[in-house]
Amino acid sequence: MSQKEITIYDIAEALNLSPATVSRGLKDHPAIRKDTRKRIFDKAKEMGYQQNHFASNLRRSRSNTIGVIVPRLNSYFMASVISGMEKVANAAGYNLIISQSIESKDKEMTNVKTLYNSRVDGLLVSLAYDTETISHFDLFLNKGIPLIFFDRVFEHPQCTSIIIDNYKAAYEVTQHMIQQGCRRIAHITADIKRNVYSERLRGFKHALLDAMLPYDEELVFFSNLSEQAGAEVTQRILALPQLPDGIFCANDTTAVSCIATLKQAGIKIPEQIAVTGFNNDPLSKVIEPNLTTLNYPGQEMGELAAATLIRKLDSKEGGSLNTIVLRHDLIVRESSLRKKV
Amino acid sequence: MSQKEITIYDIAEALNLSPATVSRGLKDHPAIRKDTRKRIFDKAKEMGYQQNHFASNLRRSRSNTIGVIVPRLNSYFMASVISGMEKVANAAGYNLIISQSIESKDKEMTNVKTLYNSRVDGLLVSLAYDTETISHFDLFLNKGIPLIFFDRVFEHPQCTSIIIDNYKAAYEVTQHMIQQGCRRIAHITADIKRNVYSERLRGFKHALLDAMLPYDEELVFFSNLSEQAGAEVTQRILALPQLPDGIFCANDTTAVSCIATLKQAGIKIPEQIAVTGFNNDPLSKVIEPNLTTLNYPGQEMGELAAATLIRKLDSKEGGSLNTIVLRHDLIVRESSLRKKV
DNA sequence: TTGAAAGCGCTAACAA
DNA sequence: TTGTTAGCGCTTTCAA
């Protein structure tokens, strides 16, 4: 069964070298002769050597592992993000340990501890729904272990944030709706503790004000942006004494369920009410009418987050980066197109 | 900055015990007095002790880490699976290292090696599109490291497989279509190297034959089941001298893009052509007409895979399990409902 | 019920 | 350019 593992001692013995030399040779230490290095590599391959990461990690107090905390794994957006992270991390020789906060601050705190115990070299985090402070990350910050936020971020001098310009994006969405003739727009969003929602709300508000339209707090609805919440809030909107002529949802899931509910109520979209979303989920291209939404690159965000972290880890540079903003674009589809071109 | 880490030596010293006793106390060794154990625990908490997994792993040659290889991360189904795995693994004190084969056998082989080097305690695998043999897993099998397949599995005496009954499921879908009056059904699927597709094809075929309908190989189309492939194959179907009256797609992505293409061509669904999918992706509830599909529980599959592996690891039992079959159910929606009820 | 001691495999400071 | 040596923190055998 389990034959003995080959260690650098075995290679050293076979080659009449010291383990130290073998260790150096294996990792391209500059002070090793080209040919001995080659001999070491060849012999290692021949003997089927596999480096023991635990020993190495123990010795170097480093794990080559990155911890990831996300609210939920099972959305298209998040899956794309993780996919991007995995790609970059894997190529750079890092492993990912992924955990979900299931939108709960408490679980997030537990995850932080677990990852701390796993001695991850750095952390990639998108915050839970109800997280208010980030003091539970002090464990990491105090030790100087890099922490990078993406998407749902928190301003902190020690941390880099990777985001899109949610303010501008929401501004563009709203502006587009106004251009399409909407004058009374509702906004369905989530807790503004999270930057992504507060910024979108701000963009929404300013776009209205800049167009000399009133900003009516009665038309701003807070929910958890689930499919169910979309239906519920839409029912409340339908019960309003005066219907809005546009609904801007802070994600596509909600927008889709909003459209479905409106259609059931016999409302014509976009003629009576225009609807827009956020995320460019695959759903948006399938719902009828196709959903106008805001695209932002999950995969790239993941890649960038991982790459930024790894750069910090490998070279100790990049510490001055505070915020990285990714591009976004408005995707106009039928659900908001009230003016024939 | 980085204050010294607390080790069992520090606890031992503070308590005037030996490190060995502390080590035992910390892990509920039976030969430790209740009260000393309590003292150890209290002191450990007080001093902020965190166990060093590397040292422990090095010593025990065990990692408390599970390797996962999936074709792709960015689908709703796979995200659910991973989510389930993470939940179970996390609760049991295991970490997950996730890697993607991006549907390539070569990348899969690389991933296997990487995970082997990471000394994972076990492996959870869904095979890549073009994997033909599983000899690249011998590294693991020869050492007796457990390997569990899920969804896209491979028969092997040493491995447990976690699947649904794809044959029966596809049979039910096809039977349903026949009951709805379809007499000439096309099937869009993928490479039958993968059990999920070969079994579905088999179920499709037998359902036809059992209903005394002809099985026409010309009506079976192989593709990679992407959105694009769905559109392309549908175009080919539309060019057929005689149109089918039903199309059974082996996943929902393809079914959705198939429906879109048919609608563009002015075909009425389900009246002229009924369409069915597989997976119960969120898309299926949004496309119009809503898609008849086959539901199977990704989250549960993930949970079960992880739980089965962990049971093997923790107690060395469960070795006799060869196949675990999860339930599935047909979800009938408009896209196949040709008979008014 | 506890302790002493060795060693898991690797790295790095220092020496040669 | 290579070797010697110590030690990372933990577990476990053997002894007490």
Per-residue CA distances from A54 to B58, B133, B158, B278 (Å) = 5, 31, 27, 43
* A81 & A155 share domain: yes
User: How many angstroms away from the CA of A27 is the closest CA of chain B?
Assistant: 16
Low-confidence residues of chain B: pLDDT under 50: 1-2
The Å distance, CA of B51 to C1' of C2, is 21
Print the domain residue range for B319: 65-164+298-328
The Å distance, CA of B66 to C1' of C7, is 26
Exposure pattern of A142-181 as b/e (b: 16+ CB <10 Å)? eeebbbbbbbbbbeeeebbbbbbbbbebbbbbbbbbbebe
Q: Show which of A57, A73, A94 is a domain's final residue.
A: A57
- Alpha-carbon distance B236 to B224, whole Å? 15
- Alpha-carbon distance B303 to B321, whole Å? 16
Please report where in the chains the tokens 């409106």 appear, as a residue.
A262
* B101 & B247 share domain: no
* A248 & A194 share domain: yes
Number of separate domains in chain A: 3
Q: Does A51 touch chain B (CB under 8 A)?
A: yes
* A220 & A319 share domain: no
In a domain, B33, yes or no: yes
* B270 & B202 share domain: yes
Instruction: Report helix angle B8-15 to B34-47, nearest 10.
Output: 120
pLDDT tens digit sequence for A308-330: 999 888 776 656 778 999 999 99
Look up residue A94 and give its DSSP letter. -
Cα B49 to chain centroid distance, Å, stands at: 37
In the sheet where A65-70 sits, what is the strand order? A323-326, A160-164, A147-150, A122-125, A65-70, A95-100, B95-100, B65-70, B122-125, B147-150, B160-164, B323-326
Question: Rounded to two decimals, what is the model's pTM?
Answer: 0.86
* CATH number for B142: 3.40.50.2300
pLDDT score at B1:
33
- Is B79–A80 a contact, with Cβ atoms under 8 angstroms apart? no
In a domain, A3, yes or no: no
pLDDT score at B2:
44
* A304 & A156 share domain: yes
Question: What is the identity of the amino acid at A255?
Answer: A
* A78 & A149 share domain: yes
- Per CB-CB distance under 8 Å, the chain B contacts of A86 are 73, 98-100
* B37 & B100 share domain: no
The B residues from 263 to 292 touching A (CB cutoff 8 Å) are 282-283, 286-288
In a domain, B3, yes or no: no
pLDDT tens digit sequence for B200-214: 999 999 999 999 999
Q: Is the backbone of residue B49 left (phi > 0), alpha (psi -120 to 50) or beta?
A: beta
In a domain, B1, yes or no: no
* B101 & B244 share domain: no
- Alpha-carbon distance A181 to B271, whole Å? 38
The A residues from 71 to 130 touching B (CB cutoff 8 Å) are 72-76, 78-80, 82-83, 86-87, 90, 95-100, 114, 116-119
Cβ contact A51 with chain C strand, < 7 A? yes
* A130 & A83 share domain: yes
- Alpha-carbon distance A88 to A306, whole Å? 6
The Å distance, CA of B29 to C1' of C3, is 15
Tokens at residue A328, please? 């976004």
User: How many angstroms away from the CA of B169 is the closest CA of chain A?
Assistant: 24
* A74 & A152 share domain: yes
* B232 & B280 share domain: yes
pLDDT score at A87:
86
- Alpha-carbon distance A55 to A6, whole Å? 13
Q: Is the backbone of residue A12 left (phi > 0), alpha (psi -120 to 50) or beta?
A: alpha
In a domain, A85, yes or no: yes
Low-confidence residues of chain A: pLDDT under 70: 1-3, 316-319, 340-341
Cβ contact B33 with chain D strand, < 7 A? no
Question: What is the identity of the amino acid at B167?
Answer: Y
pLDDT score at A17:
92
In a domain, B2, yes or no: no
pLDDT score at A139:
85
Tokens at residue A261, please? 């509910």
- Per CB-CB distance under 8 Å, the chain B contacts of A87 are 100
Nucleotides of D under 7 A from a protein CB: 1-5, 7-13
In a domain, A156, yes or no: yes
- Alpha-carbon distance B227 to B281, whole Å? 13
pLDDT score at B83:
87
In a domain, A341, yes or no: no
* Contact between A172 and A159 (Cβ < 8 Å): no
* CATH number for B32: 1.10.260
